[in-house]
Structure formats: C-alpha cells, structure tokens
Amino acid sequence: MEKRKIIFDCDPGHDDIMAIMNALAHPEQLEILGYTTVCGNNYVDKVTRNLCQVLTALGKDGKVAVGYDAPLVLDPDPQPAAHGESGLDGPTLPEPTVQPINQHAVEFLHEMAVKHEKITIVALAPLTNIAVFLKTWPELKEKIECITLMGGSRSSGNILPRAEFNIYEDPHAAKLVFESGVPIVMSDIEICLECATPHTMIDALKGQGKVQDLAHDILQFFSLYNRRRNVPQSPVFDLVPVMHMLHPELFVEKPCKVQIETAGKYTQGMTIVDDADAEHANVRLLGHCVDVEAYNAYFMENLKILNERI
C-alpha cells in the first residue's frame, strides 16, 4: 500500500495528541512529514512546547515548524477551561529534547508541497497557517490531495450555540480555506460527539504500558468536563480525521456546500452546511459513523500498537 504523506497542522491540545499518537502507530499507512503549530487552544509557544514534550516522551523525533501566533484579523482567544493553563494540563511531561526547526510553518508547508507529488494536511486547529499558505502559493493547491479537518458544526457549537472553536477562532482563515477549491474532508462537532469514547475505556488504559499511561493522564483531564456532568463518554475531537484516514469504511460521507460566517454578531465562525446542494459541494462531510464500538476498539488498539513500537 502506498503511504499517504501527511502534515499535522495543530495546537496541542489533548485531542491533537491523541490524533498524532494514532497516526504514529501506523507508519506503514501514514508518513508524517512534519508538524506545523498555530495559535489556537493557547498561544503558539505553549502548544509548540506541548508537542515537543510529547514527542520527547514518546522517544519520537519530527520536524516541528512554528506558525502564526494570532488569527488573521481577530485577537487570540485561548481556551484554558478546556485544555488548562498550559494548553495540555494533566500529564507530567519531560523537558523537550525535540526542538522546533528554524523555518516558519508556512515555509515548511511550501517546501513539502514543492518536494512531494501529493500531501495531505491534517488540520486540527484554527486554519490560519493553511489560509496564508494557500493565498501565497495558489499554484500549489493541486499538490494537496486533501485537507482533512476537525472543525465546524451542522447545528451546534462549543463556543457559541452555532460555532465550533477551530472555525470561530479564525473565521477569516476558514473562509479562505473553504473557498479555495482544495478538496476538504470535514469532521464536525456532530460526528465527533457520535464517536465519543466511554470513560470506562479511558480508565482502563492505566497500567497497560507507557503510551497508554500517557494517554490515560491526558484523557482524564480532557474528560473532566463530561465526567462532572455525569456524561459517561467524551468526544476526542481531533482523532476523527485520523481515524477516517485509517478506517474510511467506518464513515458515511456526504457531499455538502459549506459557507463560513465571519461577521455575525451571534454567529462568528458558524458553518452553514447545505447538504441539499451536492452540485456545488466544496466539502465531504463525515455524516455518520457506522460502528462506534469498532472506532473506539481501534483507538485503544492503536495506543497498544504504538506502545509496542516505541
């Protein structure tokens, strides 16, 4: 099988790390060319450090290129309530030996797009880096097989009643990306909630191995919001695009036309999803997971595989 060449554009972030761990478990399918970081869940220096610490803890190297520290137009709006003050509260992590490369995220994306026949961008954060890359080098759009992103919603929100964080945080960048013509796979809030992971599975990770212990400590913190409300499972949002690349058979896709609200007083970052206009579709929306049990079994299995490989 030909390996898919991927770049993570991310703001780690508990669920970003779960996505990366699952991809690291399958180098035969996914070749990680590198990581670009961006201001999102927290400022870019914090999320970059989090990523470097986790890669160090896993004994993995990797190219980490630092990107923008603010959205294109709006001010940053960090989310300590969801991810803690560090952006990755919960686990105890080592001082990083992995260090960012001396190249801006957007330059790194450019270099990778020029060098490789096709790349996939796995976008797990506000779309600032990607928007600037596409605007600066539109001729390289054809080198992008797809942008598979976590963001948006059909009818819900986690920042505003109708807006999801990654789109809300930089709606101007999202508009540029969604209107770029590059193929987009969209994992929205609804599919992430459908694929939520039972807390019993998170609890059972403890003591299974070094990787599972780390995942346990990360997910314990990330699931506090739902545990405090007696909800028995939690969404691991950013994992969905990676699971879709590894197991597309688990998902039903829907071609949709998606537009971004940038100006609305009550709707900043709202994604207007039209599933009745397949003719003008700019997005393949992951509309439904056919086997959530299998999804979560693969999630746990991938952590086990990674543990055996480090």
The DSSP secondary-structure symbol of 279 reads G
* Contact between 149 and Ca ion per CB under 5 A: no
79 or 259: CB nearest ligand RIB: 79
Report the nearest approach of ligand RIB to the CB of residue 51 (Å): 12
143 or 197: CB nearest ligand RIB: 197
Q: Phi and psi of 75, rounded to 5°?
A: -85, 150
d(Cα 190, Cα 264) in Å, to the nearest integer? 22
In contact, 250 and 191? CB cutoff 8 Å: no
Report the nearest approach of Ca ion to the CB of residue 278 (Å): 29
d(Cα 196, Cα 27) in Å, to the nearest integer? 25
Report the nearest approach of Ca ion to the CB of residue 16 (Å): 4
Q: Is residue 280 classed as helix, strand or coil in its secondary structure?
A: helix
69 or 107: CB nearest ligand RIB: 69
Q: Is residue 236 classed as helix, strand or coil in its secondary structure?
A: coil
**Bridge-based pairing state of the strands 64-66 and 30-37:** parallel
d(Cα 208, Cα 79) in Å, to the nearest integer? 31
Report the nearest approach of Ca ion to the CB of residue 150 (Å): 7
The contact set with ligand RIB (CB under 6 A) reads: 11, 13, 15-16, 40-41, 79, 124-125, 150, 158, 164-166, 237-238
In contact, 170 and 144? CB cutoff 8 Å: no
Binding mask 119-138 for Ca ion (x = CB under 5 A): -----xx-------------
How far is C-alpha 222 from the geometric centre of its chain's CA atoms?
15
* Contact between 190 and Ca ion per CB under 5 A: no
How far is C-alpha 69 from the geometric centre of its chain's CA atoms?
17
d(Cα 153, Cα 237) in Å, to the nearest integer? 12
Q: Is residue 268 classed as helix, strand or coil in its secondary structure?
A: coil
26 or 83: CB nearest ligand RIB: 83
Report the nearest approach of ligand RIB to the CB of residue 154 (Å): 14
Report the nearest approach of ligand RIB to the CB of residue 82 (Å): 6
Contacts (CB under 5 A) with Ca ion, residues 217-246: 238
40 or 90: CB nearest ligand RIB: 40
The DSSP secondary-structure symbol of 182 reads S
89 or 107: CB nearest ligand RIB: 89
11 or 190: CB nearest Ca ion: 11
Q: Which stretch binds Ca ion (CB under 5 A): 15-23, 28-36, 50-58, 185-193?
A: 15-23
Contacts (CB under 5 A) with Ca ion, residues 87-126: 124-125
Query: Given candidates 9, 16, 190, 217, which one binds Ca ion under the rule CB under 5 A?
Result: 16
164 binds, among ligand RIB, Ca ion, none (CB under 5 to 8 A by kind): ligand RIB
41 or 233: CB nearest ligand RIB: 41
Report the nearest approach of ligand RIB to the CB of residue 105 (Å): 16
DSSP 70-118: S-SSSPP---HHHH-TTSS-SS--PPP-----SS-HHHHHHHHHHHSS-
Q: Phi and psi of 19, rounded to 5°?
A: -60, -45
Binding site for Ca ion (CB under 5 A): 11, 13, 16, 124-125, 238
